[in-house]
Structure 1
Amino acid sequence: MAPRGQLLSRSLDTPRLVVRTSQATQRTYSTAEPAPIVKNPLKPRKGGDLGSHLPKHVIPADAYIPAYPYGDHTLFKQANHGLYGLQMIHFGNNVSEKTNTKTRRYWKPNVIKKSLYSVALKKRIKLRITSQVLKTMDREGGLDRYLLRDNENRVKELGPLGWALRWTLMQRPEIRDKMRAEAAALGVDQATIDAQWPTQQMLAEQRTSARSLVKASELIPQAYEEAEEGGGEEDDKIISPLTKREKLVAHAAGPEYDKAIKAAQRYLGRENVETEEDGIKLAFIREKERKMAAESLKQKFADRLKDQFSDHDVAETRKRFNLPAELPDEKVRTIAYNQSRRQQIEEMGSYDAWRDKMDAEKLSSRQIRQNPQTQAEYREEYMAAIAEAEGAATNESLPHDKRRFLEYAIIKANIAIKAKNSGGKIAYINMMIERTRQPKNVSLRTLSRKAAAQQEDGSDAWASLVQVSSKHPEGRQNM
């Protein structure tokens, strides 16, 4: 057979379509229960992704992200704002076949705008990404696996934006737990694991210690810091080193000033006082009441957590977050409460919506203070307390302890008012230290003992006693 006939015969040997009868294509129905549906982790949340999807909104603005080890791109700068996989613009020539003429040209990477879903962040992220990186991402199984792959070449491909997204993913608790487990399986020592991938509890302790260090540094007066560093220009302006008592005063004065200012703003916002100065005086006068109220609220919160989370819930929380055994149950219940609150915020859609719901639930209790009649009663009571404290120095009917407390409260309030107008908390600390360095007035009891001892020696010391006792009580504020 001729070649044409052979090709024709081979082309006719194609498999034919299989035609089924209608009886064979009938759908059969079974009474057995269907197989359980496996939840797709890549499926978006109910209601769609919340918030903006751009990287600048996904990456926290206040997050501390280490510097990218390979620096920004200087030749192809738009690669700093997307996932380009080290691809950049290339230059070359078009060469003519006949005349071998070269014409300058360039090649740009195939950059597309793509919305990629992150399982850890539970959000779609809009990115500028090249087709080559997209193929690599599909081969590896998604955006998270592409960003978290532990490879030097992969880190080079990420660029500054990919590095920031990688660091954001690594802050998720589930990612940290996964990395801790992988490092432990590889035989890495526990100290290195804790330093590289700390748990949520470790991060909370680090933030607490950092805040305490910042507060301690702020409590030391500026003049004392200049004296230690040798920054003073003249020797007579340098404050001498603080004694142990002065350091205790300095460390207690800072939080005391902050609490008083916040309480004064609350009193002024509730219209319990007329001016902010009266609010500061009332804050120092009612210092014990506010402390007792804070302790009562703390105890009520602890009792509520104890009723809400049983011992079984505490054990489940310890197992879930791999918490140490020496951590108290109260701390574990607090962690469980924070997790439940975070879940409520996610269900509500945003923190503002959850906050509005909580405010609506507390509105009934707040309406008691918003009542005009009750508000007037509170204002009258507080103004009477301020008037009583200002006249405590001359009021002999008050008990001795209450009189001393009110006198000292008015003194601290006046110092706080003066410090607020001059320099704030640092000025208040400096004034309190200067007050401790002032010579104290000797009490009548001490002076009478000295006078009795001097009378036995034959000297006349009662004249000084009469002179001191005849002074106005305002001149003996420290007695």
Structure 2
Amino acid sequence: MHPRCQLLSGRLASSGAVLRNPQSTQRTFSTSSPLHKNPLQRKHGGDLGSHLPKHVIPQDALIPEYPYGDYQLFKQSNKGLYGEQMIQYGNNVSHKTETKTRRKWKPNVLSKSLFSVALKKRVKLRITSNVLKTIDREGGLDEYLLKSTESRIKELGPTGWALRWTLMQKPDVIARLRAEAAELGIDQAIIDKQWPTHQMMAREKSAQYVLTRDSEQAILARESEQATLTGESRFVVDEEDYMGEAEEEEPWDAVEPATSQSPAPTQSKALRQQERKVTTEAVSEYIKAVKAAERYLKRGLVDSEEEGLKLAFVRAKEREEASTQLKQKFDEKVGQQFSSKDLQKVRTQFKLPIINDHEARKIAYNQWRRQQIEQTGSYEAWKQSQNAEKTAARDEMLREAGGPEAWQENRRAMYAKLIKDAERAPSNQTLDAETRQYLRNAIKKADRAIRARTSGGQQVYAELTLEETRHGRQSRSASSGGLDELMKASKREKNTGGDAWAALVSSSNKSTESRLRT
């Protein structure tokens, strides 16, 4: 019988039966690791996938605005690397009948995953074939994005600009840019300011944190020392006032110091907040004054930086009022130029549905200004066309003054007189009290700024301002001490059953020296 038919017979032929050893039926392969790994196997922990740009670019980062703006035609180029290519329209013309058939040409857009050496991952992009050839010629995606010519920046588009910014945050790219700048002979201070390394930024952040912490600790220590001294002095004065009184006044005497010192933590917290506010305002005030002084000195309106600082503080109120008027005029102009329909269009276009009208008007104005600059050809030409009336008025003013040199001399003389009047303001009785006080404070601030300018800058100015504030607070508290003593005397008289009002009047009739000795 044929061997394949033996299974159908119901029995096995004894002559053809083959007995196998049970051990020979075991598996002939093992699950242990082989000697050589598969080179195509994915490495553990490696990033072999492709990533979309929205997953590579940080969503919460403050990326600088693309200088050429979004593409308003063929808007899909905003989401990829199109190299300024866009859709084109034309006609197919028959050779025989010269019949024209309308048609269009679209860029050859590919979906490619390109590897970035700086990011150490592949980025999946919509990219045209021309840009892909350029990337191959440049030597990779990073080289294409980091090239800084004007034509390349125009080719990048919004997505390429964001990818370029992301690359420039990597340590390897920062080191490369610093090396290129050093080869060009750029000053090291400018290099450190323009391309700081992560270690520099960490050290600066740590130093700023330490400075803030030390200043806060110094403020807290000074406040606690003042609170301790104030508490001790109050307790001594209370003991002297209450010495020799009746025994029934002792419980009231013992409770009085604790009651008067109970709100100290709340007062200390409020005082700390007030000093932080004073410090912030002083730093802002110093920065504005220094910029104004540098402007005056550059224009030749003052002879030195010290005079520029004095003039800046004297004219601080005037500059603030002028800035407020310019802002109001601009808001009125923009409010009349753009309607609510335009603002809604801006919210829809930029996908910002919750911004207020003021921000929407600013965005609309920037878009309108960009279009005007493109039409006129340059920013200078657009600015000149916008300020034609102002330019004519300025020319007329210079002509009436006798020329630019005469106008400059008149301004210098006017500002020099303004500084002298401010320095003599405390003794000038022709001015009202408010003007004298303002000019006196302006000269004091200028003196502090001059001292800070030569020693440590805005931090020293803030410390000097804080010290002046504390001195004024202590003077006010010392001048109000007489009223506290009057109230204590009336309270003691009331507790003994006497006439509290008579005690108050008699205490107020005493001289200042006698009240201070008791």
**TM-score using structure 2 length:** 0.46
Higher relative contact order (CA 8 A, sep 6+): 1
**TM-score using structure 1 length:** 0.49
> Quick check: which has more Rg, 1 or 2?
2
Select the structure that is richer in helix.
2
